[in-house]
Amino acid sequence: MCTWIPYPGGSTVRDLILVHKPNEARRFIEEVKDSRAIALYVIGSTLTSTIPGISVAGASPRATLYTPTLDVEYLVTGKPLSMDVVPVTPEGIPTPAIITRASLKLMDIPYLVVNSGSYIEPRIPHIVLPSRCVGGLINECKGLPKGIANKLFRESESLGKSISRGVDVVIIGESIPGGTTTALGILAGLGYEAWGLVSSSGPRNPHELKEKIVKEGLEVLRKGDVKSDIFGVIECLGDPVHVSIAGLVKGVVSNDAKVILAGGTQMSAVLAILKSLNVKLRNRLVIGTTKWIIRDDTSNIIKLVSMTYDVPIIAFNFDFSRSRYEGLKYYERGYVKEGVGAGGTAIAASVINGVSAEDIIREVHEEYSRLLSMGGLHGEDKTH
């Protein structure tokens, strides 16, 4: 699918892979070394994630509604607070927030949670967008209520402007189960041929189901009284998170700060929104993801990015194949892949703080061991 170019820097960045537009990616890395940074993690829920077969980002379809809140409660405090369970797949594989938390523990930067519409309010201090709203079923063209998409964008733009004053780079991650399906909805609604290109949280990518859901929503959009402008498309086929991230990006780049979009294929929907609104990025944005997204042969992030807003892509080269924990080895088998800003946060840790993959993996193992001792995960140490 692509040629990976290892970053030819010193030991602090040896774990980075320049996946797309390597010269621009290299320039971005050099410009953000030793910079002032802050990380934002945007959470939201969509009822689309409860459609059976769409998402495994939870122990059941219904449980996916709680995943964003549990993700960030765990990220901040080391344990979920709203429920006595760590977000896991049906196989018991842990949330990628375990990687994000490990990376943040090794960094010296502030980070905040932004609630754009979670199903339940996180029991941690966080920023709440005034128009926050849980997304609906996009196959019924009910992604968001009328007028909400524009409000979320403007509120997020204001937040992006405010929070990026005095910093050089902002890392923006997300947690929204069902997000690749709603991302496909936004892309298709804006006219992009994105069928079969978005990724999945499981090794079996349900492209046919995603396409069916999106096309049902498109049919309602074309026949109904929903506006077909950018915000109308989002309100039919989208969710609260992607439009909020787009607003954050616009606000951040307006202050001449840089952005690491920390996520996988669904970040192409953010780029599509920005392009539709004619937001000028001015070489200030890269996508930061994991190697698991890049090597996924059921999706194509490079094609998606190339057809929307053609920006550099950098991947972090994690390797859990020799982990003593089966739960982590599942990442190497196509499960989870990305989420809660895992790849982009690790890239920032590498570039800004000189953190290595070995450092992060060691911290992940310690975190995983702690969770096992709490009874919060299914798994076992295969070395014993």
Q: What is the pLDDT of residues 264-318, one digit of tens each?
A: 999 999 999 999 999 999 899 999 999 999 999 999 999 999 999 999 999 999 9
Give the residue, 66 or 94, on which the prediction is more confident. Answer: 66
Give the chain's largest Cα–Cα span: 62
pLDDT at 208 over 50: yes
**195 in Cβ contact with 188 (< 8 Å):** yes
DSSP structural state of residue 9: S
pTM: 0.94
Query: How many CB atoms are closer than 10 A to CB 373?
Result: 9
Domains, the chain, in order of start with CATH, read 5-374 (3.40.50.10210)
Give the whole-angstrom CA distance, residue 334 versus residue 245.
26
Q: Hey, what are 44's tokens?
A: 């939201």
Q: How confident is the model at residue 145, as a pLDDT?
A: 97
Give the whole-angstrom CA distance, residue 170 versus residue 262.
10
Q: How confident is the model at residue 117, as a pLDDT?
A: 98
Q: How confident is the model at residue 11, as a pLDDT?
A: 42
Give the whole-angstrom CA distance, residue 331 versus residue 178.
19
**102 in Cβ contact with 364 (< 8 Å):** yes
**230 in Cβ contact with 256 (< 8 Å):** no
Q: What is the residue-wise DSSP string for 258-278?
A: EEEEE-STTHHHHHHHHHHTT
- Across the range 223-247, mean pLDDT stands at 91
- The sheet that has 37-44: what strands, in order across it? 5-6, 16-20, 313-316, 285-290, 258-262, 169-175, 37-44, 111-117, 127-128
**315 in Cβ contact with 278 (< 8 Å):** no
**342 in Cβ contact with 99 (< 8 Å):** yes
DSSP structural state of residue 224: S
**34 in Cβ contact with 349 (< 8 Å):** no
3-state secondary structure 14-26: CCEEEEECHHHHH
**42 in Cβ contact with 244 (< 8 Å):** yes
Q: What is the pLDDT of residues 123-168, one digit of tens each?
A: 999 999 999 999 999 999 999 999 999 999 999 999 999 999 999 9
**To the nearest 5 percent, what fractions of the chain are helix, strand and coil?**
45, 15, 40
Give the whole-angstrom CA distance, residue 371 versus residue 375.
6
- Across the range 171-186, mean pLDDT stands at 98
